[in-house]
Structure 1
């Protein structure tokens, strides 16, 4: 025992304010009066009242230990049970007189149970094993218990008796590390880089199906799942599994002005025919990711798809600048005004020194006609002309052609007027691009030629299309039309993997093709609308993602918040003898100075267990929703600068309210305390909910909200919610 304070009146309630751990205050209720004392000294506190107290009521014979485990007094025994079905887990035996009060005692590793009896004994229990860890002998019946953390980091037990004695006990448990501020800074909605949901076999199966070389394999595959089910992550994992190291390609010679001039002189050439080989080389997968929701019109969809395919093809076939310039110049030279472009090339290749030589020649003629006696003018003219010819010859034979022609000719297919910037040279625009149909035809032609060249280089194109359910109905239809073009006989073998929510995409197709809504002849007998039949005809392999379950929560928390901190092995807890109460009042305790490790609050075992339990209790398991809740929880921890374990657990409920019921927060504002007070009274709860504006259609939301408040300390959650919202 550390301290005894005598109030000479029965103690009916205790409360602690631990905002400042070095100066913990204890509020003692004595009938209709209250007194506040310093826990470290036992002296009366004189000052302004603190705002928030953690209250322990009198004769608390039932308590929640942690999660779904509760404790209830049964005469001299303490019964541990499951709170949901009241199933008995363990019976703690040790007291010889009826149990009069119970409470919780927190350590870093686990939550312990404190019990007091009519005979004055106080016992500390390990609820996991049922072992009694400590025992204290009081002088009178204990009516109320309270625990807090002392300045040395060790837990303290406060007991109040009917004789007015306030006793502060130090069970001398091992000193846990200090709890520090939250260190993780939230999580984005980007696809994860690791498999958090144990879908490795699914990823491997998709990789085997997409492996190049099988002409009869499915060409359109859908990865189907609801919002937040992990479709994007699965596609990324498949992409990384299919990725192959780029082939080593020699850089080749650069495209000089001379080579470009010869190419422009030539007539249109046919692509070289590949000579048959007895050895058939294995095709390499070329994976292209395309996000259609960034595009709206059909032109933008095709332009985006062409850009994605082009960039991937360049990385595979043309890793060096020299190869890229030669390839695209040869392709683009087929459709531009070559003679006009050739004349432009000549004019730009001529050295500026030749112009200066022309000026020198004029000066020399003027010198001859006027007898200015400038004999050096002829020599200057000859020198400039000779230097200019040499400079022009060097440019023509050795300089890059890209330095004298529009850059679009060497960077990809030439673009249309609709997408060309103001700097695009009008000489390189094909007239067919001015028409919408002509533009689409030529873009398809560019992509087709590129895919055929990929096939020649033993690459098979695999296109991953994600977030199709985010697009507008018209964009979704345009993507499907583009896929149909790729599936035509003109294109080499190309495979598509679509990440989508089938319910949303089928509705998009129905909306885009409303004229088919009444055409029952196009609807499959098992489909509710033409949109579902369209997907049935297009997709050869539908892959439905398995539902995310509560069992996946542990792995998600481990990946996002890191491992749970565990205490280092300490001395046996039962090594000390019983704590006696015969000692006199101890003066101010000397703080226990010890170098202690600081543990981020999200790695505290009790906090992690609370997070785990609440995430597993969500009606719909979704990694995206779990990230939203964790982001809100971490943000509120930063707002309050909280390192208190119990407050962090309460904030989990606050974050859950903010993320699960955002549509109702404006109704709940100002009514948090009323809700917390009515959570156990059906009549009062119904009146409070009606007062806050909840209608019959909102009954499911208010039932779930009540279930959440029942599962936590409703008053503490209400107090925090009123501060934050």
Structure 2
């Protein structure tokens, strides 16, 4: 440990205070009542009127979860009132302690009367640095201009000594780097629900003879239903079967199918059953037609990927399917017209010219040769189109891209060639779509696929849409449809209310078929669902994993602090001093104290939800950006402000900017909940931080300074 300055005063030193941590200035209090401001870099000092209200000698400090206390010549380290180690080495009573920030974690600086200044690692009990013999009555630590921590000590001799322990600089707190979080599904299992996922995967195995058909994943909003369904989908996903690319559907092939109906040959051996996961979000749809259209589209896209991944197979399949519902003779005549070569039209013009030449004796002998040439080329071109041309180039594209919609229900863009008088006259849109879905499910069954429909966000839909989804599920469960499984993500309370609203006649008649159900909606769910899976509630134990995933790991340096025995110069064992390394900048949300404060406040919430935790973090990081603060204490205060804004948004208008009233109401250490009247634990610094942070944000938005020293 190197001595940098020795500044002499005419009286014993009784106190040292750091008044400007950015550009360090010390106030030295003297026994005779005076005080002087000292520049620790140059040693210059000037008189000051500053007085500290309490004694400067500190005998107990707090370092993270440890309490360090001076007891005689020893320094005792406590954890939850239990002694974990004693730091021994001083030969005279320890007079003053202070926290020493350093790389690898905070240390403890101690001084004794008639002894020396020493630096300790409170977790390992090792002595990291030691000064030469000096008399110490009081000491403080402060950051130097290079970011490394210095020590100022004073005693009864009236000498102020500035020490450089030559330890590596601690990481510097930087601005918040988090930019908020969306409400998308998580990409990892934050709530440790892998066992639920595996159990659902086993229940959805298509090899079982008579498994549950309708399974519900139940939980409140923000409980992780969508994430769980997404993980189940990932577990059930199977690669598509290897299918040959096949030949493209030519005009000749399409003509044969239109002339004589083509019947597919049955499959000799049915493949081993495999799950085919189909995701469907009903909240994007409103009417019954839109719900069925969305279901048909979801099933169609999944089926195309599984059984017809190539364009040739897809065109052949849909043309064969759609030929059932169109006027094949009319479509065949139009196909012939469209493949005729334009050269045949030119040959007709050339033939007219040749006839004119013969009648008028124009002596155009080449006219017949041109006619014959164009006719031959046109016939050849037409033949090539018929034998090798792709059918989709001459027929409406709707015939090859999916189930066609009859003109009665299609938009103005549907090709007029696609018409089906039978279905136009006798069937409705829902019947057509249901027929298409049924046929597609039958083909999937032939290829060994069992569809599993994952329907999420059912509790976000309108009551009518919820009822339409349930009606569609009932159609799928009929005997006419192949076996289909459903996994629904919903909040049972909301969905039961939707069913009650959609079928008011049942609610008005008070027809409750089960004595344990409060309304018909609950009875409907009881009859429809064979396996209800209730998600476990999110607890305080899950908060650490959520914070780790959202904010990243806390900056902890686990390197051991060592100091060679009998060394007068203290260095961090194995670590270079600051001139050899660049000082690390750690985002404020990765600071240990800030992360602990976030964990405590989130653990104190009455209801734990990943969605609500994200909302609080979004508001909190936004406040940090408005203030552009890197102050750890203020960041902790802003957590309380963000908690109020998130938990009670309906009551914020009553404050009308009067954050000081809220601060005054917290004088007892707790604030009553506006809804339940239960006490809300608020840290004592909240009494000043509410108005402080609110005023700072208003000034920041107006372009005023926002730091505590400027306010």
TM (norm. structure 1) is 0.81
**In 1, Cα distance between the equivalents of 2:567 and 2:165?**
11
Answer yes or no: is 1:300 the counterpart of 2:297: no
Answer yes or no: is 1:626 the counterpart of 2:613: yes
Q: Is the partner of 1:301 in helix, strand or coil?
A: helix
Residue 241 of structure 2 corresponds to: 247
Shift of 1:215: 2.6
Shift of 1:614: 3.9
Shift of 1:311: 0.3
- What are the within-5 Å matches in structure 2 for residues 652-667 of structure 1? 652-665=639-652
Shift of 1:222: 0.8
**In 1, Cα distance between the equivalents of 2:602 and 2:331?**
66
**In 2, Cα distance between the equivalents of 1:306 and 1:321?**
20
Shift of 1:608: 4.1
Residue 149 of structure 1 corresponds to: 143
Q: Do 2:197 and 2:232's aligned partners in 1 also have CA atoms closer than 8 Å?
A: yes
- What are the within-5 Å matches in structure 2 for residues 290-369 of structure 1? 290-369=280-359
Residue 460 of structure 2 corresponds to: 470
Shift of 1:211: 0.6
Q: Do 1:197 and 1:548's aligned partners in 2 also have CA atoms closer than 8 Å?
A: yes
**In 2, Cα distance between the equivalents of 1:229 and 1:241?**
20
Residue 263 of structure 1 corresponds to: 257
Q: Do 2:103 and 2:168's aligned partners in 1 also have CA atoms closer than 8 Å?
A: no
Answer yes or no: is 1:65 the counterpart of 2:62: yes
Shift of 1:567: 3.1
Q: Is the partner of 2:452 in helix, strand or coil?
A: strand
Shift of 1:284: 0.9
Runs of 5+ unmatched residues, structure 1: 47-54, 581-590
Shift of 1:548: 1.8
Shift of 1:723: 2.8
Q: Is the partner of 2:516 in helix, strand or coil?
A: coil
1:275-295 superposed Cα distances (whole Å, 9 cap, x missing partner): 4x5xx6420110111111111
**In 2, Cα distance between the equivalents of 1:58 and 1:663?**
46
Residue 110 of structure 1 corresponds to: 105
1:333-371 superposed Cα distances (whole Å, 9 cap, x missing partner): 111122221222111111122222222223333334444
- What are the within-5 Å matches in structure 2 for residues 526-537 of structure 1? 526-537=516-527
**In 2, Cα distance between the equivalents of 1:284 and 1:572?**
61
1:358 and 1:551, CA in 2 relative to 1: closer, same or farther beyond 3 A? same
1:363-407 superposed Cα distances (whole Å, 9 cap, x missing partner): 333334444433333322222221111111111111111111111
Cα RMSD between the aligned structures? 4.2
**In 1, Cα distance between the equivalents of 2:154 and 2:610?**
46
Runs of 5+ unmatched residues, structure 2: 571-576, 699-711
Q: Do 1:107 and 1:176's aligned partners in 2 also have CA atoms closer than 8 Å?
A: yes
1:284 and 1:373, CA in 2 relative to 1: closer, same or farther beyond 3 A? same
Q: Do 1:357 and 1:381's aligned partners in 2 also have CA atoms closer than 8 Å?
A: yes
Residue 422 of structure 1 corresponds to: 412
Shift of 1:529: 1.5
Q: Do 2:107 and 2:121's aligned partners in 1 also have CA atoms closer than 8 Å?
A: yes
Q: Larger deviation: 558-567 or 87-96?
A: 87-96
Q: Larger deviation: 91-100 or 147-156?
A: 91-100
Residue 706 of structure 2 corresponds to: none
Residue 697 of structure 2 corresponds to: 724
Quick one: which of 440, 456, 459 aligns to 1:450? Answer: 440
Shift of 1:521: 3.8
Q: Do 1:108 and 1:606's aligned partners in 2 also have CA atoms closer than 8 Å?
A: no
**In 2, Cα distance between the equivalents of 1:153 and 1:125?**
20
Q: Do 1:348 and 1:404's aligned partners in 2 also have CA atoms closer than 8 Å?
A: yes
**In 2, Cα distance between the equivalents of 1:441 and 1:32?**
97
- What are the within-5 Å matches in structure 2 for residues 160-559 of structure 1? 168-177=162-171, 179=173, 182-183=176-177, 185-267=179-261, 272-275=265-268, 277=269, 281-415=271-405, 420-430=410-420, 438-559=428-549
Shift of 1:417: 5.5
Residue 580 of structure 2 corresponds to: 594
